[in-house]
Amino acid sequence: MPEPAAAPYDALLLCSFGGPNATEDVVPFLRNVVRGKGVPDERLEEVGEHYFHFGGRSPINEQNLALRAALAAELERRGVDLPVLWGNRNWHPYTVDTLRDAHAFGARRILVLVTSAYASYSGSRQYREHLAAAVAELDAELGGAGLEVDVVRPFFNDPGFVAANTAAVVRAVEELPADNGVHVAYVTHSIPDTMQDASAVTGPGYREQHEDVRAVIDAELRERGLEVTSSLSYCSRSGDPRTPWLEPDINDHLADLAEAGVRRVVIAPIGFISDHMEVAWDLDTEAMETARGLGMEAARAATAGVAPEFVGGLVDLVLERAARERGEEPPVVVRGALPAFPDVAPPGSCRMRHGEVTGIPVLAGTED
């Protein structure tokens, strides 16, 4: 009799950044985000203004619950018995608490799906450091032999993720008044230049991953007869303004596009899987206001969210990884010119800075 499709895993953990649920949560949440950096509460109050603008409630939590439900429904539809859990780096429910509960209910091996499609320090390694710390804490509580945890590989070039973003861009183009030509301004979260350089040491870097997705979507749009130009820009930079980050900022870029004669633009947040704060504030509020102020016709494409093709692709990735852990050789399908990333990150990958060795333990990789 064949093993269950999800074996050897007892559960799937959706691991996310987390976000506050109320005004009183904002500063404590931000303290968690910047722990160890000596940022005073006065500065956190300023940084938290975006959250206060939305009543202190980040949309990310409800979106994670929706994705968790969608994944569970897709697994059930396929006849796969695999509970879907949820834990966060920076707010309730914390990852270690979710893992503790999972262990109490009998789980011994868990597969983690990080809510970030791209590989970089902040999108990959930092989560793997966080998971290693959570597992170590749980092992210490249990006297060892707690949980074995694996991580799903970066999925930026998964067919389901690309298809969901392509469909979203098409819908956004259709929202604009009919005319010849539209510019698609693809957007992702900016990172420091040093982090970009470090992400490219052992494979395609963060920026190159996005450019690969951009090229695939552009080709799909043209095959559908849409006349488009496109570019990649960034949002949500933070920290010391003297530190170089990836540019151009989406607002500056919109001004440059307007000056070049672009009048119809789609803002496509391919760097995010859901409409959390960076999308709700940086794009829906600031960038759309910038575009309107420049006299541009603008529409914001949806994120992948719980689009059926995206959710189906994630479940494909889960079952692909499970099959590999059983010693099988399932097909690995990607879109674009870049290969699938490995299940276990190579030594030295996705550090904060190239050559920096912190000694911080990681899962699905090495400290080297």
Reported as a single tens digit per residue, the pLDDT across 17-54 is 999 999 999 999 999 999 988 889 988 898 888 899 89
d(CA 175, CA 197): 37
Confidence of residue 239 (pLDDT cuts 50, 70, 90): confident
- pLDDT value of residue 286: 97
Helix 206-223 vs helix 159-175: crossing angle, to nearest 10: 60
Q: From residue 19, give the alpha-carbon distance in Å to each of 16, 55, 84, 98, 286.
A: 9, 12, 20, 16, 20
**46-79 per-position pLDDT tens digit:** 888 889 989 999 999 999 999 999 999 999 999 9
Q: What contacts 7, CB < 8 A, 6 or more positions away?
A: 322, 326
Q: Is a pLDDT exceeding 60 seen at residue 1?
A: no
Higher pLDDT, 293 or 142: 293
- pLDDT value of residue 67: 98
- Domain span(s) for CATH 3.40.50.1400 in the chain: 11-155+307-325, 159-300
Point out which residues pair with 84 in neighbouring strands: 12
**121-134 per-position pLDDT tens digit:** 999 999 999 999 99
- DSSP-derived secondary structure for 106-151: T--EEEEEES--S-SIIIIIHHHHHHHHHHHHHHHHHTS---EEEE
Q: Is a pLDDT exceeding 70 seen at residue 368?
A: no
d(CA 362, CA 114): 14
Residues 104-135, buried b or exposed e (16+ Cβ, 10 A)? eeebeebbbbbbbbbbbbbbbbbbbbbbbbbb
- pLDDT value of residue 181: 86
- DSSP-derived secondary structure for 172-214: HHHHSPS-S-EEEEEEEE--BHHHHHHHTSSSS-HHHHHHHHH
Confidence of residue 179 (pLDDT cuts 50, 70, 90): confident
d(CA 332, CA 225): 29
Q: Domain 11-155+307-325, CATH 3.40.50.620 — does that match? A: no
**299-318 per-position pLDDT tens digit:** 999 999 999 999 999 999 99
> Is the separation of the CB atoms in 28 and 99 below 8 Å?
no
Confidence of residue 2 (pLDDT cuts 50, 70, 90): low
- pLDDT value of residue 53: 87
- pLDDT value of residue 143: 87
CATH level 3 topology of 159-300: Rossmann fold (3.40.50)
d(CA 175, CA 314): 28
d(CA 250, CA 24): 31
Higher pLDDT, 356 or 95: 95
Task: For residue 361, give the amino acid letter.
Answer: P
Structure tokens at 143: 């006297």
d(CA 152, CA 343): 7
